[in-house]
Structure 1
Amino acid sequence: MNIVLFEEEELERELPLGDERAVHVLKVLRRQVGDDFDVGLIDGPRGRATVKEILDTGLLLGFEWGEEEPELLPIDLVVGLSRPQTMRKVLNEATTLGVRSIRFVVTDRGEPSYAESKLWSTGEWRRHVLAGVAQAFTTRVPQVSWGMSLKEAAAELAGRECRLALDNYEGTVRLAEACRGSGDLVLAIGSERGWTAAERDFLRSEGWTLAGMGDRVLRTETAVVAAVAVARELMGRA
């Protein structure tokens, strides 16, 4: 992890030795009493923590904070629910790239039971998000939701300035040419088997534009990374 993240309520408590963050500080960073390291307050500022004591049960830390982190990019993702191993990659990589929100939707070609996966029901998903935050050396966490329909997600995002759905077959514009300079961008990526004709018709009827990134068929997680990377370039944030 490039930065060690904390919830606000943890700051006054001992960090247990069994916590993966304590293991990282002692075994990977090799910090001793008096040493410091990079820390972040989730959705707050970055700073430095100093190891004050190493007890039999945990670490006592002192914190000094800097300025608040900048807001996340105005990019909202809609992703068709896919296998849990695919969703783990999307959670991590999309967070690392700085998107503002991710909505995982049930699609016509997706397996409905994916919404009941332990990834979601146990809260495991948040671990992958925080790993992406730490990788990016920041503190901002995107909003994540799952299990809604495509229609519900489209209704929530109806007011966004530019809404694009990636599609290999009927994309009418290149992603790199769409919505350049837009203040807000929504990107929809289908599940592992793509959109159905009915879903394409629905998206177009709701004012979405079908866009493509070439003729190669990408995995869902690869399409997410590639599309957000292009969007960052369009926004001058590459």
Structure 2
Amino acid sequence: MNIVLFEEGEIEAGYLPNNDDRVEHVKKVLRRDVGESFDAGQIHGKRGKATVLEYGSVSMSLRFDLEIEEPKLLPIDLVVGLSRPQTMRKILNEATSLGVRSIRFVVTERGEPSYAQSRLWTTGEWRRHALAGAAQAFTTRLPVVSWGMPLEEALGAFGCSDERLLALDNYEAMTRLGLAVGDCEAIALAVGSERGWTGPERQLLRERGWQLVDMGKRVLRTETAVVAAVGVARELMELPLG
């Protein structure tokens, strides 16, 4: 991890129990002694430095100096068909690292309904993967994440603004993703589950104002398509640096 992230309550308390993986990281990976500092941040808040005050018998004591405001997340919203848990873990990590502001994992006709009841979601494990992505990207901000709603319901959240609506599809796309992005200020990207969209889903997307686009003829894994599409979008959109 490139930054160690803390909950607000942990910062207020000023310590971590020794059985916390972050204590091991500070001691064994960062190799910080008492009096030394490391990069730290409050989840969804400011970042800066944390200083080790003591390695005690039961906890590590810390002092925080967090003054740096984090930039907003990118105006990119993802709609992704629920897939196998290992695929979702990768997307949570990588999409968070890339800086998207929301991810909706939706039930599609070709996705297994049981994926929405995976332990990844029911135990809250998903947040750990998002936190790992944020720590990798040296940021404190996490996207808004939801899962389990039907595709049609998720699409209802879009279409009332100037956000450009683009759905990846290898079969009926009318243009390339790069040509469709243009100079828009916000974008929503829809990526199907591991077996793609059905005919009725393509029709639903069109009816709701989504444009079918592709990134070439090669069929990509869901997690690869998400990373590639967000990379193309963030490079082509007229986004401020920082």
Please indicate, yes or no, whether the TM-score normalized by the shorter chain is above 0.5.
Answer: yes
Structure 1: how far apart are the matches of 2:238 and 2:98?
Answer: 13
Aligned counterpart, 1:8: 8
Structure 2: how far apart are the matches of 1:26 and 1:18?
Answer: 12
Amino acid at match of 1:202: L
Question: In the alignment, is the contact (CA less than 8 A) between 2:84 and 2:115 conserved in 1?
Answer: yes
Aligned counterpart, 1:150: 151
Structure 1: how far apart are the matches of 2:120 and 2:227?
Answer: 20
TM-score, normalised via structure 1 length: 0.98
For the aligned residues, what is the CA RMSD? 1.0
- Percent sequence identity is 66
Alignment of 1:1-238 (within 5 A): 1-13=1-13, 14-160=15-161, 161-236=163-238
Structure 1: how far apart are the matches of 2:105 and 2:94?
Answer: 14
Residue 156 of structure 1 aligns to a residue whose secondary structure is coil
Structure 2: how far apart are the matches of 1:12 and 1:133?
Answer: 21
List per-residue Cα deviations over 1:129-150 (Å, max 9, x = no partner).
Answer: 0000000000111000000011
Structure 2: how far apart are the matches of 1:179 and 1:218?
Answer: 20
Residue 100 of structure 1 aligns to a residue whose secondary structure is strand
CA shift at 1:236, angstroms?
A: 4.4
Structure 2: how far apart are the matches of 1:202 and 1:235?
Answer: 26
Question: In the alignment, is the contact (CA less than 8 A) between 2:177 and 2:213 conserved in 1?
Answer: yes
Structure 2: how far apart are the matches of 1:222 and 1:204?
Answer: 24
Amino acid at match of 1:100: R
Residue 86 of structure 1 aligns to a residue whose secondary structure is helix
Structure 2: how far apart are the matches of 1:179 and 1:86?
Answer: 26
| Structure 2 portions without partners, runs of 5+ | none
TM-score, normalised via structure 2 length: 0.96
CA shift at 1:158, angstroms?
A: 2.3
Structure 1: how far apart are the matches of 2:196 and 2:237?
Answer: 26
Amino acid at match of 1:211: V
List per-residue Cα deviations over 1:11-50 (Å, max 9, x = no partner).
Answer: 1322111101111000101111000000011111111000
Amino acid at match of 1:17: N
Aligned residues: 238
Structure 2: how far apart are the matches of 1:173 and 1:77?
Answer: 19
Structure 2: how far apart are the matches of 1:70 and 1:130?
Answer: 17
CA shift at 1:68, angstroms?
A: 1.1
